[in-house]
């Protein structure tokens, strides 16, 4: 409402992209090299490579689903402001099919990753026997297939609605988008709960925490919104998506801030209840993470992911400072990877964190793959969802 | 500013008020304040109202609350009457956090509301200042300073009439 005249929004073909031709080729090369090295690692050092594949692929898959989640919740709330930047979360979803396929690949690593998948271990363990009704390989595989298939299908449905509306401008697509979003949100809540229990929590099959799925969700939601914000700022710096203004950036900063506090709340809730009750079957998780080389990372986690965004994003003016917000987002994206690292790796390398060529290859390979897929998807779609009835409101977004 | 004089005009809608506020500042007539039935996006910018400083009070209140709650709990459970809870250290920090958090929120909220009431002079028994009729109802009222900048090209009353404001009159701020 600031401007009575609409800010000029160019309608020309823009050739918009995140990566230049050279950096696209470099990242595509790194993606091929990194995933190739990781694939080799699965053969020569499986006990080390499978956890890395699980960690990095789960993080990137979740983060790209946060793209769908971001669109879905704003559609459901009938929020007008993010429409102008909607192509960024839409392009983030380009990783979902790849992540889904890699999750299917991970089924081959189940014997390496999950202690409960060995019949002789179950035979010698009363607790695992009690849980075998849920934690057995066929049921695990079936749930995994259903979960990733639903994510792939529902995510695609939400993006398609927006593409169809580019052509037709039909108001009916907005209603279709709301229905798809409602279905996705409910399905995502249930399936992500299953995914985080099956894929992450069952790495330590004796341990359980009822708010664990929430905690994992808050972590990836925070990482995902931070990544979205960082990508938008990069695109703005490149001179694209210039119809977004400082209020869009500010609102994304508020999301990052709010999810950081939400994550901190859940991190502390889980930690404090277990610490206070001090029951061995619960505290075993934190004992493993506060001993040896894990202690430093365990302490760094809440400092990076709560204290830092709390102090650096508290004043409104600082959330609008794009350089500051960008770097905070970069740190948070890495910080929530670290959070997942602390959830996954101690069961693989109990003595302490080990960073070697394999870890670097997995992060660089899959991370580059994510960026390449993002860039390809972003180029292919029109830069703005002009057919969306909320587009005009979004361009005029003010505070 | 007690004793200062303002010129008020009533508008029919928010867009007219926003246009008048922008025009006034562009032509050297400072905006005193605006009174609207609901918050209007962009009004603070249009009227040149600086961002609130209540956030600073909020932050200071939060810091005081946090410190006070930690101090109180450490004093009661570690100094005055050391209490053994499940063999944990007397100064076990995680146990202190929930109360510290609550007191932080309490101090921040009370401090902010208190500072707002003091700054807005909203204490009991105060006679309300109503610059125009309908200001507590549905009127969009723009108040301009009677004293304009030296560079001003119009008087406040002329400017308000140009923008089709009704009931233009000069009043004294109480």
Average pLDDT, chain A: 93
Instruction: Tell whether B55 lies on the interface with A, counting CB pairs under 8 A.
Output: yes
Round to whole Å and give the CA distance between B53 and B31. Answer: 19
Could you tell me which of A218, A222, A221, A241 has the C-alpha nearest to residue A231?
A: A241
Q: Which pair of structure tokens corresponds to residue A19?
A: 């990566």
Residue B148 pLDDT level (bands cut at 50, 70, 90): confident
CB B9 within 8 A of CB B159: no
What is the structure's pLDDT at A13?
A: 57
Residue B141 carries which DSSP code?
A: E
Mean pLDDT of A280-308: 93
Mean pLDDT of A263-287: 94
Could you tell me which of A216, A311, A345 has the C-alpha nearest to residue A270?
A: A216
pLDDT greater than 80 at residue B2: no
In chain B, what percentage of residues exceed pLDDT 70? 98
Mean pLDDT of A121-140: 95
Looking at the complex, report in whole angstroms how far the Cα of residue A359 sits from the nearest Cα belonging to chain B. 33
Mean pLDDT of A195-200: 97
Other Cβ atoms less than 10 A from the Cβ of B62: the count is 21
ipTM: 0.78
Residue B136 pLDDT level (bands cut at 50, 70, 90): confident
Residue B173 pLDDT level (bands cut at 50, 70, 90): confident
Chain B residues within an 8 Å CB radius of A2: 41-42, 45
Strands B140-145 and B31-35: antiparallel
Q: Which candidate in B94, B97, B105, B108 is best for mutational testing of the A interface (most A CBs within 10 A)? A: B94
Looking at the complex, report in whole angstroms how far the Cα of residue B20 sits from the nearest Cα belonging to chain A. 13
Residue-by-residue DSSP string for B72-85: HHHIIIIIIS---S
CB contact under 8 A, B95 and A399: no
Round to whole Å and give the CA distance between B35 and B173. Answer: 14
Residues 6+ positions from A191 with CB-CB distance below 8 Å: A146, A147, A150, A151
Residue A2 pLDDT level (bands cut at 50, 70, 90): very low
pLDDT greater than 60 at residue A7: no
What is the structure's pLDDT at A292?
A: 83
What is the structure's pLDDT at A5?
A: 38
Alpha-helix residue ranges (DSSP H) falling in chain B: 14-26, 43-47, 54-74, 93-119, 156-162
Round to whole Å and give the CA distance between B3 and A394. Answer: 44
**B147 vs A101, residue with greater confidence:** A101
**Surface-to-core class of residue B68, CB atoms within 10 Å of its CB (0-12 exposed, 13-18 middle, 19+ buried):** middle
Structural domain boundaries of chain B? 5-51+129-172, 54-119
Mean pLDDT of A169-189: 95
Mean pLDDT of B143-165: 88
φ, ψ at B6 (rounded to 5°): -130, 160
Q: Residue A63, SS3?
A: helix
**Per residue in B70-84, pLDDT tens?**
999 999 999 999 989
Round to whole Å and give the CA distance between A29 and A35. Answer: 10
What is the structure's pLDDT at A10?
A: 54
What is the structure's pLDDT at B16?
A: 92
pLDDT greater than 80 at residue B119: yes
User: Measured over all CA atoms, what is the biggest interatomic distance in chain B, rounded to whole angstroms?
Assistant: 78
In chain A, what percentage of residues exceed pLDDT 70? 96
**Per residue in B42-72, pLDDT tens?**
898 888 888 889 999 999 999 999 999 999 9
pLDDT greater than 90 at residue A252: yes
pLDDT greater than 70 at residue B140: yes
Mean pLDDT of A131-141: 96
**A-chain residue closest to B55, CA distance:** A315
Least confident of A125-139, A236-250, B118-132: B118-132
**Per residue in A342-365, pLDDT tens?**
999 998 888 889 889 999 999 999
Mean pLDDT of A78-96: 95
What is the structure's pLDDT at A3?
A: 36
Instruction: Tell whether B48 lies on the interface with A, counting CB pairs under 8 A.
Output: no
What is the structure's pLDDT at A6?
A: 44
**Which residue is listed with tokens 């009004």?**
B43
Looking at the complex, report in whole angstroms how far the Cα of residue A44 sits from the nearest Cα belonging to chain B. 43
Round to whole Å and give the CA distance between A396 and A9. Answer: 11
CB contact under 8 A, A271 and B95: no
**Per residue in B87-97, pLDDT tens?**
899 989 999 99
- Helix pair A294-302, A246-277: axis angle to 10 deg: 130
CB contact under 8 A, B41 and A276: no
pLDDT greater than 90 at residue A56: yes
Least confident of A50-59, A209-218, B156-165: B156-165
Q: From the list B41, B51, B97, which residue is nearest A268 (CB)? A: B97
């Amino acid at each position: 409402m600031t401007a009575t005249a609409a800010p000029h929004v160019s309608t020309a073909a823009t050739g918009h992209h995140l990566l230049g031709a050279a950096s696209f080729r470099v990242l595509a090369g790194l993606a091929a090299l990194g995933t190739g090295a990781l694939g080799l690692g699965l053969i020569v050092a499986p006990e080390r490579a499978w956890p890395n594949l699980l960690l990095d692929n789960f993080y990137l898959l979740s983060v790209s689903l946060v793209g769908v989640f971001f669109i879905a919740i704003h559609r459901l709330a009938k929020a007008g402001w993010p429409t102008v930047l909607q192509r960024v979360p839409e392009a983030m979803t380009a990783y979902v099919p790849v992540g889904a396929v890699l999750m299917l690949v991970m089924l081959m690593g189940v014997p390496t990753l999950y202690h409960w998948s060995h019949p002789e271990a179950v035979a010698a363990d009363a607790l695992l026997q009690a849980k075998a009704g849920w934690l057995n390989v066929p049921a695990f595989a079936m749930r995994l297939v259903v979960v990733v298939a639903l994510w792939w299908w529902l995510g695609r449905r939400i993006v398609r609605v927006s593409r169809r509306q580019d052509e037709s401008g039909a108001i009916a697509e907005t209603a279709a988008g709301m229905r798809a979003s409602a279905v996705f949100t409910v399905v995502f809540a249930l399936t992500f709960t299953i995914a985080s229990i099956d894929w992450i929590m069952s790495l330590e099959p004796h341990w359980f925490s009822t708010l664990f799925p929430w905690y994992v969700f808050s972590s990836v939601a925070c990482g995902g919104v931070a990544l979205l914000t960082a990508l938008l700022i990069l695109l703005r710096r490149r001179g694209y998506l210039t119809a977004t203004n400082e209020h869009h950036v500010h609102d994304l900063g508020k999301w990052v801030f709010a999810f950081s506090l939400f994550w901190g709340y859940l991190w502390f809730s889980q930690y404090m209840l277990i610490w206070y009750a001090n029951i061995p079957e619960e505290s075993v998780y934190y004992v493993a993470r506060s001993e040896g080389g894990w202690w430093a990372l365990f302490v760094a986690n809440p400092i990076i992911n709560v204290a830092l965004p709390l102090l650096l994003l508290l004043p409104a003016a600082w959330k609008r400072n794009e350089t500051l917000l960008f770097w905070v987002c970069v740190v948070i994206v890495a910080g929530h990877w670290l959070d997942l690292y602390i959830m996954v790796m101690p069961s693989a390398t109990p003595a302490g964190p080990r960073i070697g060529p394999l870890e670097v290859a997995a992060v660089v390979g899959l991370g580059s793959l994510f960026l390449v897929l993002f860039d390809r998807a972003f180029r292919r779609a029109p830069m703005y969802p002009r057919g969306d009835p909320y587009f005009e409101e979004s361009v005029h977004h003010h505070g | 500013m007690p004793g200062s004089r303002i010129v008020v005009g009533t508008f029919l809608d928010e867009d007219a008020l926003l246009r008048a506020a922008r025009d006034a500042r562009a032509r050297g007539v400072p905006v005193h304040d605006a009174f609207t039935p609901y918050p209007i996006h962009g009004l603070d910018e249009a009227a040149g109202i600086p961002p609130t400083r209540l956030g600073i009070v909020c932050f200071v209140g939060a810091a005081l609350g946090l410190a006070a709650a930690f101090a109180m709990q450490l004093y009661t459970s570690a100094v005055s009457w050391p209490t053994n809870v499940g063999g944990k250290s007397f100064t076990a920090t995680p146990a202190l956090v929930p109360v510290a958090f609550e007191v932080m929120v309490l101090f921040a909220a009370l401090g902010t509301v208190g500072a707002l009431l003091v700054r807005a002079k909203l204490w009991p028994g105060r006679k309300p200042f109503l610059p125009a009729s309908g200001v507590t109802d549905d009127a969009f009222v723009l108040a301009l300073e009677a004293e304009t900048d030296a560079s001003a090209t119009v008087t406040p009353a002329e400017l308000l009439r140009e923008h089709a404001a009704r009931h233009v009159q000069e009043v004294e701020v109480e």
